[in-house]
Amino acid sequence: MSLSVDQFQQIVTNENAFIIDTRDEAFFLEGYVPNSIHFKPEIIHQAAALGLISFEQPLVFVGDDENEKIAIAYFEKLGFSQIKGWLEGGFNAWRNANKRYDLIIEVEADELAMDIPFDEFLMVLDIRTEEQYDAGHLKDAIHIPLLDFADPGSMSELDEHFNIYLISQDGQTNTLAASILKRQGIHNIRVVNQGWDAIQLLKDRFTIELTKKNKTLDDKDSI
């Protein structure tokens, strides 16, 4: 069902509806409805596996026609029965109605390299799988795999006074993770464009460590 801005806002407020934004990452970074979670169709299977939403949770969608249809069909197939509709006109309609919106800052890997030595409150948050993290990660990085984001205990190390730089494997899940954190009240976040893939291209500017269980006797603590 197509929803006007007012209808959309009423459902979100009165029914505590979960907002799912299916737009392309570049558009999401420029602005989104507060408390939305960014589920691109390509990664919806990962998002669904997080367990953030109950099957009885009312859902509303923001996106373009193609993405909305893909997302809604997928959630219906999974058994979510409380799909209330989508925002007519998408995010542009929300912004044109002068509604408050949020955004996420994206930085390049070289910006992270420049900030690390000078920011005592900088935290690198690595959301890759354990296997990916063990094979190489930035020194002093905090590792919380994306699939642990629904666990409040896993989030206990995060605090608003940190300047959090978020790293996924190739950048595909950066905005999903960032939007989850922002919905939980952690707003001081930057996402690293292209994630670990970009860091690997500039690895001479970073201190990269291996997890000890993956080291041989000839391995050094960092490369």
For residue 11, the enclosing domain spans 2-96
CB 186 within 8 Å of CB 160? yes
Q: Quick one: tokens of 83?
A: 């799909």
Q: Is 180 within 8 Å of 164 (Cβ atoms)?
A: no
Q: Is residue 220 included in any domain, yes or no? A: no
Rounded to whole angstroms, the Cα distance separating 52 from 215 reads 35
31 φ, ψ (degrees, to nearest 5): 160, 145
124 and 182 assigned to the same domain? yes
Nearest to 126 by CA among 201, 183, 191, 187: 191
79 Rama sector, left if φ>0, alpha if ψ -120 to 50, beta otherwise: left
Radius of gyration of the chain (CA): 19
Model pTM above 0.85:
yes
Dist. CA 54–CA 97, nearest whole Å: 30
Count structural domains, the chain: 2
Q: Is the pLDDT of residue 178 over 60?
A: yes
Q: Which residue has the higher pLDDT, 34 or 157?
A: 34
Q: Verify that 136 and 74 share a domain, yes or no.
A: no
The model's pLDDT over 82-141, given as tens digits with 9 standing for 90+, comes to 999 999 999 999 999 999 999 999 999 999 999 999 999 999 999 999 999 999 999 999
Dist. CA 170–CA 98, nearest whole Å: 34
**C-alpha span between 46 and 40 (Å, rounded):** 10
Domain end (from 44, 67, 96): 96
CATH code for position 115: 3.40.250.10
- Residue 178 C-beta-side C-alpha neighbours within 13 Å: 32
Residue 51 has pLDDT above 90, yes or no: no
Residue 223 domain flag: no
Q: What is the pLDDT of residues 129-166, one digit of tens each?
A: 999 999 999 999 999 999 888 776 777 778 778 999 99
Kindly state whether residues 86 and 151 are assigned to the same domain.
no
Nearest CA among 200, 218, 211 for reference residue 135: 211
38 with 139, same domain?
no
- What number is the average pLDDT over the span 9-26? 94
21 and 81 in a single domain? The answer is yes
